[in-house]
Amino acid sequence: MLYNESLRQKKELLLTKDGSWTLYSKEFEQAYHSTKEGALRESLQKHVIPAFTLHPSQESYTILDICFGLGYNTLATFYYLQTYLPQTKVHIFSPEFDYQLIKSIATFDYPKEFDTLEPIIRSLSQNLYYKDERYTIEILYGDARQSIPKITQKIDIVYQDAFSPKQNPMLWTREYFRDIRTICNDEVILTTYSIAIATRMGLYENGFLIHIYEGEDARHSTIATLERIEGLKYVDMELKKSRNPEAKSLSDSDFIDF
Ligand X SMILES: C[S@@+](CC[C@H](N)C(=O)[O-])C[C@H]1O[C@@H](n2cnc3c(N)ncnc32)[C@H](O)[C@@H]1O
Give contact residues for ligand X (rule: CB under 6 A): 32, 43, 67, 69-73, 95-98, 101, 143-145, 161-163, 168, 170-171
Closest separation between CB of residue 131 and ligand X, Å? Answer: 21
**Closest CB to ligand X among residues 110, 235:** 110
**Closest CB to ligand X among residues 137, 237:** 137
Nearest to 79, CA basis, from 68, 90, 69: 90
**Closest CB to ligand X among residues 58, 104:** 104
Closest separation between CB of residue 39 and ligand X, Å? Answer: 7
**Closest CB to ligand X among residues 54, 64:** 64
**Closest CB to ligand X among residues 113, 143:** 143
Closest separation between CB of residue 229 and ligand X, Å? Answer: 23
Closest separation between CB of residue 230 and ligand X, Å? Answer: 29
Closest separation between CB of residue 95 and ligand X, Å? Answer: 5
Read off the DSSP letter of residue 105: G
Nearest to 184, CA basis, from 226, 220, 218, 222: 226
Closest separation between CB of residue 121 and ligand X, Å? Answer: 12
Phi and psi of 4, rounded to 5°?
-130, 90
**Closest CB to ligand X among residues 8, 240:** 8
